[in-house]
Amino acid sequence: MCIELATIAGYPAHPYHQPNANKLNSNINLPSLIIVDDDPLIRDALRLSLSDEFDVYLAENRLQAIDLVREMPDRPQLALVDLGLPPTPHRPEEGFHLIVELLAHSPNIKILVLSGQDEEANARHARTLGAIDFIAKPCPPKKIKTQLRNALLIQRTEQEQERSDDQMLGIVGQSSPIQAMRHQIALYAATPFPVLIEGESGSGKELVAAALQRLGVNSKAPYLVFNCAAISPSLLESALFGHIKGAFTGAHNAQAGFFEDAQDGTLLLDEIGELPLELQAKLLRVLENGEYQRVGETGMRKSRARIIAATNRDLRQEVRSGNFRTDLYHRLSVFTIHVPPLREMDADKLPLLNYFRDFYAAQSGNPPFSLDAATMQLWERYTFPGNTRELRNIVIRLATKYPGQTVSTAQLEAELDPQQFTTSNFNPDNDPFKLALHTLQQQPGFNLDKLLLEQESYYINAALELAHGNVSEAARLLGLQRTTLYSRMETVQKHKANIITGEAH
């Protein structure tokens, strides 16, 4: 076992949060750390080893970890996650799902996987999903602490970068989708109407929302972010609208909600697709006439905040499934911005590499790494299923391992998921039969359905762009019936979701 075990004399009242004595006796705000492992000895040993520098929370399975995140007063900063969690402790699937869910609840969290399931494929897939790195058990506590410090430093550096960035708040790239998105941001920022931001996990929806606020007419007013997935459903209404004293058990004092705190500024409702139906009606009332009530209050209050919503779900499909109100969807989507996935922006993969590489080199004081021609081609062929978040994490690892060096193809391949490559570097004028032969020879694990779905998604997105989001017009351009296009879009979206969650075969 990699952790030195010690006898635990007693436990505090909360079953999962282990308060740090130094924090309770001083004014130091320690960074929050969630440790998820099904072995109680490892959990307790990690707590003892790390609680001098981190505010430690413990969980033994995925559901417990998510409940813990929802109960925390602030979003967690760091996580140590074991892959082998109940109910399948000998398989990595629960750990993979937890990585995705933690990032959905807290997009800026830095996740380190600490696992005995240290097969290279597991390490690569965990990083693809958004983990910043993989630590194999056994390993000494000193190394774990060093890795956590580095992750915290990276997180703080990123936050400083986003606050000071002059390239439209970190939105880098010159591809057609990015230029179109920049135009939409500039156009919609000056309006008071709601904006719906759609995009896959890790694609940068938060950057788009921040740009809308910073370029808007009330850029000096408050800007608040409310993650609808990060709070327990029973506490959502109070968090959004506030409550009066005595409104429910534990409401010892009146409390303002996010709408009240936002004043006449901007409120980002992140993961809006997770909002329960009963609260959707109350949100609709705010959007229609600005009226809301604190929990337990009879009088009406007025909100002047501008609403931006973000989601990685297909809300049109959620409407058809009965999980999202039609009237609320139309209110939120007065303007819609689609954040394109990185696999649709081949022209931006190298500029993003250069941008993040130079940034981290400047921050660390180390010389930047470089890629040779063959490695650069490999980079351009990779699809980055984790989008910009995955690309950024890869750059961080390369900058740490190979400062001032030329990264070889083998060294880059060690950081990538071998199943996530396209054949986009082939000349379309080549003989189709020879192209198929070459692809099948060069790509182990080739999947025809995946290739066809990727090609279909390119045409659907191109048609929607040309039709300015009008599905009927996009269907006409594609020679399809509108209902058929909806069905195709649903199939493609499910495939994308499966890739992100690791369920694609």
Distance CA 93, CA 79 (A): 17
493-500 contacts, C-beta under 8 A, 24 or more apart:
493/314, 493/317, 495/450, 495/453, 496/200, 496/341, 496/457, 499/385, 499/420, 500/100, 500/129, 500/200, 500/201, 500/385, 500/386
Report the candidate in 207, 221, 214 with the shortest Cα–Cα distance to residue 189. Answer: 214
Q: Do domains 17-164 and 176-340 have the same CATH topology?
A: yes
User: DSSP state, 197?
Assistant: E
The whole-number pLDDT of residue 206 equals 92
Domain borders along the chain are 17-164, 176-340, 343-421, 422-505
Distance CA 129, CA 33 (A): 19
Distance CA 211, CA 185 (A): 7
The whole-number pLDDT of residue 429 equals 46
The whole-number pLDDT of residue 433 equals 63
Distance CA 311, CA 332 (A): 11
Give the domain 17-164 fold: Rossmann fold (3.40.50)
Strands (E), 101-157: 110-115, 133-136
Q: Which 3 state secondary structure label does DSSP give 458?
A: helix
Instruction: Give the global pTM.
Output: 0.70
Give the domain 343-421 fold: Helicase, Ruva Protein; domain 3 (1.10.8)
First to last CA, the chain: 34
Q: Which 3 state secondary structure label does DSSP give 333?
A: coil
Give domain 422-505's CATH architecture. Answer: Orthogonal Bundle (1.10)
* Other C-beta atoms lying within 10 Å of the C-beta of residue 277: 11
User: What confidence tens digit (pLDDT) does each residue in 113-136 have?
Assistant: 998 887 888 888 899 888 999 998
Query: Alpha helices, DSSP H only, in 38-92?
Result: 40-50, 62-71
Beta sheet of 195-199, edge-to-edge order: 223-227, 266-270, 306-311, 195-199, 335-339
User: DSSP state, 243?
Assistant: B
Q: Residues 325, 277: contact at Cβ < 8 Å? A: yes
Distance CA 211, CA 310 (A): 13
Residues in the chain: 505
The whole-number pLDDT of residue 167 equals 44
Instruction: Determine the CATH number of domain 176-340.
Output: 3.40.50.300
Q: Which segments in the chain show pLDDT lower than 50?
A: 1-15, 17-27, 166-167, 424-430, 499-505
Determine what percent of the chain falls in helix, strand and coil, rounding each to the nearest 5: 50, 15, 40
DSSP states along 417-437: -TT-B--TTS-TTS-HHHHHH
